Amino acid sequence: MADLVEMFREAVLRERLFTKADKLLLACSGGLDSTVLAHLLRAEGYDYAIVHVNFQLRGAASDEDAAFVEELARAQDAKFFGTAVDVEAAALPGESTQMTARRLRYSYFKKILDEYKYDLVLTAHHADDNFETFLLHLLRGSGLTGLAGMQPRRDRLVRPLLSVSRAELLAYAGMHGIRWREDGSNAQDDYLRNRIRHTLVPVFTEGFGLSPGSWARTAEQLRGEQLFLAEALARAAAAGAGQLIRRQDYPVAAQLLTLLHHLHPGFSAEQHRQMVMATRPLVLRGEETTAYVTREGLQFLANADLDAPLALPLEVQALPFTYQHPLLSLRLEQVLRPEELRLADGLYLAPSSFPLHLRTRQKGDYFAPFGLAGKRTKLKEYLIDRKVPAWLRDRLPLLVDAEDKILAVPTAGIAEGCGVDPQDAWVWRLSWKMTYPA
């Protein structure tokens, strides 16, 4: 059997639970698990106090538990905090005895943490408890969060024994002559958790050889998946609407599939699968968004923005001129020629003659990019070469002259013959603002 002290040390380091500089508050019922944890904390030299809540649900036995824990604290030279509560009187409408006791217990812990400046509260939940929690959540139809069981740390609550089985706690207690109190209510089947412990757990442990220790490894893996998902969702949310989800950030297909399921539920499972497995550009429409899938990644745009009327073509008779659309806005204006002709979200071009027009691309469009000595290329190929995203190509307002020659392609470039002359005092500035990154 693994050395319990080493298991405890490894869990504290691996999960970064606490350090010798932290002031710890140990929640102790007087039972095996919390009494052993008190012994471990003392043996390892941690700064800790002991806290106990007497729920007065078992008459004299509850008072004896409280006295035992107070004596344990005295024997370990640890500060003791204790309180007695009337669970029945404190119950809220529709609240079970267990729920009320839990609420009162953690409320008292918080009071002591805040009032006496302790950093963390420790509970002694172990691998057997976590296995029961998994089965309880499984029966209730929980998702990944529930099936992952209890977390080693959540805010100021720490559970350092989740990788330790009850059998290992018993062995350690026997080796060190540790006494503890038995809660007689644990032998009753009044609560669902007790029924799971007495009837369902033996089916797995005795019938299939699944020990709480082996389950602890599964729980750790599930917690890792849950942590990945939480971080991925937070990262995706922070990136903003329309941000590209890059495949290279999610090399495991199952991870990307899980992310899409949670982040974009308006698509079917088959559509999510197609997004992950796609080897060529793909467009998939969901309930609220449309997915543009490329080799590099996936981009999601709101259907309402994509479906908004373009109101093109438009005639431009004078400057300044502004075009507004949910996907992007354009502004064409005359300005004094700047020393620097580079713009992050715009371009400069030589003034032209009115009227001008804004229109979308048409079949057979050609474009002569600036700097290619008038060489023309298919507009479709130019847009692809300039990495204009597929969702924008058919919606991009092009600036054309009275003869329908394309003068400028917003986000991409200007035409040959539209370059600014060094002698020009005034130039035109075409700027844009994108709702989604292009």
Please, which residues have CB within 8 angstroms of residue 332's CB and are 6 or more apart in sequence?
Answer: 316, 319, 320, 321, 322, 399, 428, 429, 430
Q: Which value, to the nearest 10 degrees, does the dihedral of the CA atoms of residues 8, 14, 18, 20 take?
A: 70
Within the chain, how many helices (H) and strands (E) appear? 16, 21
**Backbone phi, then psi, for 265, in 5-degree steps?**
-75, -5
The full length of the chain comes to 438
32 labeled part of a ligand binding site: yes
Element (H, E) at 256: helix 253-263
User: For residue 369, what is the DSSP state?
Assistant: B
408 and 415 Cβ atoms separated by less than 8 Å: yes
- Beta strands, E only, 171-311: 245-246, 282-285, 289-293, 297-302
51 and 79 Cβ atoms separated by less than 8 Å: no
**Bridge partners for 400 per DSSP:** 357, 406
In DSSP notation, 62-116 reads HHHHHHHHHHHHHHTT--EEEEE--HHHHPPTT--HHHHHHHHHHHHHHHHHHHH
Q: For residue 364, which of 375, 349, 376 has the smallest C-alpha distance? A: 376
Q: Distance (Å, rounded) from C-alpha 299 to C-alpha 229?
A: 19
104 and 87 Cβ atoms separated by less than 8 Å: yes
371 labeled part of a ligand binding site: no
96 labeled part of a ligand binding site: no
76 and 40 Cβ atoms separated by less than 8 Å: no
336 labeled part of a ligand binding site: no
256 labeled part of a ligand binding site: no
30 labeled part of a ligand binding site: yes
Q: Distance (Å, rounded) from C-alpha 428 to C-alpha 417?
A: 14
- Which residue ranges make up the annotated binding site? 29-34
Binding site members for ATP: 29-34
